Amino acid sequence: MSTRQVEHRGTSSETYLSVNGLRTTFELRQWGFLRAGEVRAVDGVSFELAAGESVAFVGESGCGKSTLARTLLGLHKPTAGSVVFDGQELGTLKGAALKAYRARVGYVQQDPYGALPPFMDVRRILAEPLRIHGVPRAEHRRRIEAALAEVRLSPAAEYLGKFPHMLSGGQQQRVVIARALVLAPTMLIADEPVSMLDASVRVEILELLARIQRERELTLAFITHDLSTVRHYADRVFVMYAGRIIESAPVEDLIDHPQHPYTQALLTALADPDPANAHRERPIPAGEPPSLIEPPAACRFHPRCPHFMPGTCDVHDPPEFEPRPAHHSACWLHG
């Protein structure tokens, strides 16, 4: 995939993160020592992100998007392929270099209550990454108060002494975001950051992340299963299925002109706000998402695809076609 100029929100065309042929697998063992196979959670993923770009990775639960996020964070070691961040190969980083990389990449977890230590108050939670990364103690108060103000938890004195159980779900997630920002990262990875929140605060958190990304000019990778919200914060969308990226496009083009049958099915499943369409029949692909232990040969979606072509879809892996400018789809329909 070539580097493309991203015009939305003033981002640059410079490649900031380059992922090539990335594979992350997990061994399965029987009785604790006999190898019984492997889970191919991420299986041959390639993409590039520009500095300051905001992208979304979308797909059903179990498609590999969270494993991809944790691999980019350096929490999972890739089995094959490469991740190059701002000119540095992630697989070669160790010790102090890996620690410095993690300071530059912030992480917003899915479950805010589970992400926050219950025995620490907000002051200690936000001071912990500063302490670990050697930020001078004289800087702690200024950085902590600035991070709380940025996530709209002010005055800071009202929250610093509170423990996680004393905060609402939305406030907890704002603390998680503040912790991700306190080291001034240049990239932010948000893994389903609103899926555990009440519907009433989801929009607030999404708007907060979009504003922070815009003001700080962060590179933002947003992991989600909800295609209905991505047009509000993403420049581009990558659709994942069974460990692979099967379609990528600028957000408006993907939503208005989906090319892959799986993406079309995802969009068809979205609720229609028009009451006149409430009883419209919504075709859903037959079957279930495949096992990542023994995924289907060739195109992973072919057992469920309404356009399945025997002898092609089940025999040959589809290459990346470009049915529309800057819109890529791994589907033989476009070959």
**In a structure prediction context, what are the per-residue pLDDT tens digits for the chain, which is 335 residues long?**
333 333 334 444 578 999 999 999 999 988 777 787 899 999 999 999 999 999 999 998 889 999 999 999 999 999 999 999 999 999 899 999 999 999 999 999 999 999 999 999 999 999 999 999 999 999 999 999 999 999 999 999 999 999 999 999 999 999 999 999 999 999 999 999 998 898 889 999 999 999 999 999 999 999 998 888 888 889 999 999 999 999 999 999 999 999 999 999 999 877 555 555 555 555 667 788 899 999 999 999 999 999 999 999 999 999 999 999 999 999 999 97
> pTM score, two decimals?
0.90
Tokens in use for 8? 């939305």
Nearest to 64 by CA among 225, 180, 190, 196: 225
Q: Please give the pLDDT value at position 307.
A: 94
Q: Are 56 and 237 in contact (CB under 8 A)?
A: yes
| Domain made up of 8-254: CATH architecture | 3-Layer(aba) Sandwich (3.40)
The 10 Å Cβ neighbour count of residue 81 is 18
What is the edge-to-edge ordering of all strands in the sheet holding 54-58?
105-108, 187-191, 219-224, 54-58, 236-241, 244-250, 327-329, 321-324
